[in-house]
């Protein structure tokens, strides 16, 4: 098997591992709350989620950097790693800007996650009015270009 195929297989396996970890966290924490000592709290959810997300992304960037820096990898493998790294950085920037713009509208805390043509907005709020949802959707569409059908807003108390 060629090195190019090996690199592509390893990159795919790594991405699947990250997605599996993310889904595990989300599915085990369906309501966006963290259980601590018998009490349910969302206070730490946003901080914990951001920390976990940053750790995973740091690992992804380090992985891509290793592929790029390895002299034995093909030029095509290096270009693929560079493209994926650039895509990841752009995704991170879009999420950060979107979170900031939503917070600027008066919401206490928010986490934005994105994947291929899908955006999830987890927002610290009891219930959202239709006007608030419209403002959030407007910001997300403007920053990401994702269609309304692919935007999911999840309020958590």
Integer-rounded Cα Rg, in Å, for the chain is 18
Residue where the block lists tokens 């951001």:
50
Give the pLDDT of residue 140: 95
pTM above 0.85, yes or no: no
Assess whether pLDDT exceeds 70 at residue 28: no
Domains of the chain from N-terminus onward: 3-156 (1.10.287.4300)
Helices (H) and strands (E) in the chain, counts: 4, 5
* Token duo for residue 49: 């989620």
Mean pLDDT confidence for 46-60 = 92
d(CA 124, CA 155): 6
């Amino acid at each position: 098997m060629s090195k190019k195929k090996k690199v592509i297989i390893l990159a795919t396996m790594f991405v699947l591992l990250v997605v599996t970890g993310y889904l595990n966290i989300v599915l085990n924490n369906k309501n966006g709350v963290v259980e601590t000592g018998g009490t349910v709290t969302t206070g730490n959810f946003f901080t914990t989620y951001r920390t976990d997300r940053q750790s995973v992304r740091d690992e992804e960037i380090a992985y891509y950097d290793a592929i790029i820096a390895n002299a034995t990898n093909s030029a095509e493998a290096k270009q693929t790693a560079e493209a994926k790294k650039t895509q990841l950085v752009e995704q991170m920037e879009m999420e950060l800007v979107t979170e900031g713009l939503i917070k600027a509208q008066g919401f206490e805390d928010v986490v934005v996650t994105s994947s291929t043509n899908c955006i999830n907005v987890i927002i610290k709020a009891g219930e959202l009015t239709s006007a608030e949802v419209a403002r959030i959707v407007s910001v997300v569409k403007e920053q990401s270009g994702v269609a309304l059908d692919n935007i999911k807003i999840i309020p958590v108390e």
